[in-house]
Chains A and B, each alone.
Chain A
Amino acid sequence: VHAPGQARIGAVVTTLVIGALSLLWLIPLAMLGINAMKTTPEYFRDSSPLVLPANPGVVVRNLADAWANAGIGADLIASLVYGTTGAALGIACAALGAYGIARLNIRGRFFWFALVFSGSLFPIQMYLIPLFRLYLSTGLYDTQLGMILFYAAASIPFGLFVFRTFFATIPRDLQDAARLDAGDWSIFWRIFLPLAKAPMAVVFLFQFTWIWNDLAFGLVLSASDGVRPVTAGLAGMQSLYSTTGPPTLLAGAIIGTLPTLVLFLFLSRYMLTGLVLTTGTQAARD
């Protein structure tokens, strides 16, 4: 039999261990922040990457250097364009299709759903080679349009899954009442779509983050600054960082992290609860 005092000591020890681990977890982020505020000679001269910078204002120069000279600024804007328009176009296609499958008179509902959803089953490596060949032969290679089209298509399967589940919960009476004086399109546009704001936000957040973090398609389907996404830009900068210096590269990494970090800071409770896919779908239904 354990004494209550012993249990309390156990709780204190556990908290201390987890606390130490949490501090350890913050060190790489501290390293990122501190060294983006150093000059390159300072970085190599300091006895440790955790020594505080002599002049933190250097960060402005490093950020500007990464933004302009290393092309990270143009890549960041490209990534923002892909994240927003790709996810939005994907959501539009997925919501239309989900409405058709869930509420209209269509043969082979399961076939259409399975066909589109099969697009999310394979690892990304299964798409790279033919897409590269297709993009080269159609002129989509290294164009913003090509990147948007692919990212939109990649956003559709998960979107279809969420919207189909959501539309199936909307009472049929609502649709039948509306059908008396409206066609399928206006029922979709005026009733179903406005009701679907919450699942739309879930899918948008999920797909924006996915597009933002993608590296492989950026490396394979694009090459030039302003077309390649920020991940591919950073990867390219990393492979030749000796020309820019570690602090500039770390400043670039901070630029490339800000949008998703800001999203997390504003929506952390929401993201932490909606993290598990099933839980996410549940949240969409509420």
Chain B
Amino acid sequence: VREPNTEEMRRGGVRRLGAIAGPVAPYLFLAPMVLMTSVFLIYPAIETVRLSFMKVSLTGETTFIGLANYLQMPSDPNFLTACINTTLWVGGVLILQVGGGLLIAVAVNASPAAEVFKRILYLPATLSGTVVAIIWYFIFDPSVGLINLALHAAGLGFLAKSWLSTPPLNTYAMIVASTWQGLGVIMVMFLVGLQNIPRDVIEAAQVDGAHGFHMFRRITLPMLRPMTLVVVALALIGSVKVFDIVEVMTAGGPYRSSETLGVTVYREAFELFHQATGAADAVALTIVVLVISMFYMWTMFRRIPETVN
């Protein structure tokens, strides 16, 4: 048996090193991404679940107390108010933004000035929720706000209210502000859906004498169904976890009357220092969001064969 010469030994060594580095090296490409998301997203999510089963002292020490944080929810009036307000938000967003967005998309689609209207109605979506909240805070101002001044000018002064300090009007007022911001986005999504309806389907229906409302009900609405499901799911998720507009316009007040679940988490954890209660509220909110997300993904995956055909 011949001894390997130095050249062969060197090559073998390189190959052996390569055999070790080879399988490991590809994982180095994943390392930064996995490290970052593990520390700043995945660990906090798991830790929130853990904290929801704990009691957290003001100094930050945790003691296991089982389901106690969850069991006290039904008897916590603030949590119940938040649930009711969140439901109002969901209903209001579905009616005003999804329903309104659909009607306006159909109207804009038929208009010769569609591009102008589309851009104007979408414009508020480029503002942050914080700025939208500031603008509407002044519009709803009881003494110098635009709404009450307009009501007085129209001789309807008796309708003028302290919009943001009277429950449940404050929640409705904030839903209006949110509609100003969100309607354009939903309208554009419906416009995409409308433009994907094949021309020949519409023309065939017109030949058969379909017009106006009949056309909308029998042709447009069924053909928009895939987009409608996506829009409804996104609107549901967005409205369930609403935070910015409420936090800036009323901070959930007065007396926690306009809190939504998303705001309750913040208030409990960072203003009342009930971190464990906040964590349990966050988990409850997440369960609702995940259920809706599953419905969303289910419709998305069901859509794929439809769009392929």
From B127, B137, B241, give the contact of A123 (CB < 8 A): B241
If over half of B's interface residues share one DSSP class (helix, strand or loop), that class is named, otherwise mixed; here it is helix
What is the bound-complex CA distance between A11 and B108, given in angstroms? Answer: 10
Please determine whether B26 and A115 come into contact, CB atoms closer than 8 angstroms.
Answer: no
Size category, A interface? 35 or more
Contact of B40 with A by CB under 8 A: yes
Please determine whether B192 and A279 come into contact, CB atoms closer than 8 angstroms.
Answer: yes
What is the bound-complex CA distance between A130 and B32, given in angstroms? Answer: 21
Please determine whether B29 and A96 come into contact, CB atoms closer than 8 angstroms.
Answer: yes
Chain B residues with Cβ below 8 Å from A169 are none
Q: Restricting to A67-115, which residues have a CB under 8 Å from any CB of B?
A: 90, 92-94, 96-97, 99-101, 104-106, 112, 115
Please determine whether B144 and A49 come into contact, CB atoms closer than 8 angstroms.
Answer: yes
What is the bound-complex CA distance between A264 and B118, given in angstroms? Answer: 13
With an 8 Å Cβ cutoff, the count of chain B residues facing the other chain is 90
What is the bound-complex CA distance between A49 and B144, given in angstroms? Answer: 7
Please determine whether B117 and A130 come into contact, CB atoms closer than 8 angstroms.
Answer: no
From A1, A96, A153, A263, give the contact of B37 (CB < 8 A): A153
Known: A184-B25, A239-B251. A92 touches B244 (CB 8 A): no
Q: Restricting to A231-252, which residues have a CB under 8 Å from any CB of B?
A: 231, 234-235, 238-239, 246, 249-250
Please determine whether A105 and B41 come into contact, CB atoms closer than 8 angstroms.
Answer: no
Please determine whether B30 and A130 come into contact, CB atoms closer than 8 angstroms.
Answer: no
Q: Report the nearest A residue to B132, measured CB to CB.
A: A28
Known: A105-B26, A130-B44. A272 touches B110 (CB 8 A): no
Contact of A168 with B by CB under 8 A: no
Chain A residues with Cβ below 8 Å from B146 are 27, 31, 48-50
Known: A96-B33, A215-B247. A129 touches B51 (CB 8 A): yes
Chain A residues with Cβ below 8 Å from B266 are 125, 128, 216, 219-220
Known: A153-B39, A272-B188. A106 touches B30 (CB 8 A): yes
Please determine whether B129 and A215 come into contact, CB atoms closer than 8 angstroms.
Answer: yes
Q: Report the nearest B residue to A22, measured CB to CB.
A: B120
Q: Report the nearest A residue to B149, measured CB to CB.
A: A48
From B33, B134, B145, give the contact of A116 (CB < 8 A): B33
Known: A27-B146, A268-B119. A129 touches B30 (CB 8 A): no
If over half of A's interface residues share one DSSP class (helix, strand or loop), that class is named, otherwise mixed; here it is helix
Contact of B154 with A by CB under 8 A: no
Please determine whether B128 and A260 come into contact, CB atoms closer than 8 angstroms.
Answer: yes
What is the bound-complex CA distance between A29 and B120, given in angstroms? Answer: 11
Q: Restricting to B1-49, which residues have a CB under 8 Å from any CB of A?
A: 23, 25-27, 29-30, 32-34, 36-37, 39-45, 47-48
Please determine whether A112 and B30 come into contact, CB atoms closer than 8 angstroms.
Answer: yes
From B110, B120, B130, B279, give the contact of A234 (CB < 8 A): B130
What is the bound-complex CA distance between A105 and B24, given in angstroms? Answer: 10
Known: A1-B209, A28-B139, A257-B128. A124 touches B243 (CB 8 A): yes
Known: A18-B104, A124-B243. A253 touches B282 (CB 8 A): no
Q: Report the nearest B residue to A152, measured CB to CB.
A: B36
Contact of B58 with A by CB under 8 A: no
Please determine whether B241 and A14 come into contact, CB atoms closer than 8 angstroms.
Answer: no
Please determine whether A19 and B51 come into contact, CB atoms closer than 8 angstroms.
Answer: no
Please determine whether B130 and A153 come into contact, CB atoms closer than 8 angstroms.
Answer: no
Mask, A131-158, CB within 8 Å of B = 1, is 1111000000000000001101110110
Chain A residues with Cβ below 8 Å from B308 are none
Please determine whether A213 and B29 come into contact, CB atoms closer than 8 angstroms.
Answer: no
Please determine whether A106 and B26 come into contact, CB atoms closer than 8 angstroms.
Answer: yes
Please determine whether A260 and B127 come into contact, CB atoms closer than 8 angstroms.
Answer: yes
What is the bound-complex CA distance between A234 and B132, given in angstroms? Answer: 11
Please determine whether A246 and B51 come into contact, CB atoms closer than 8 angstroms.
Answer: no
Known: A15-B113, A44-B144, A272-B122. A216 touches B244 (CB 8 A): yes
Please determine whether B135 and A28 come into contact, CB atoms closer than 8 angstroms.
Answer: yes
A106-B26, A261-B126 given; 9 more Cβ-contact pairs under 8 Å? A26-B123, A28-B139, A50-B146, A104-B26, A128-B266, A129-B282, A253-B135, A264-B126, A276-B230
Write 11 A-B pairs (CB below 8 A) sorted by A numbering: A1-B209, A15-B111, A18-B104, A25-B121, A106-B27, A115-B37, A118-B42, A128-B266, A128-B278, A129-B275, A215-B244
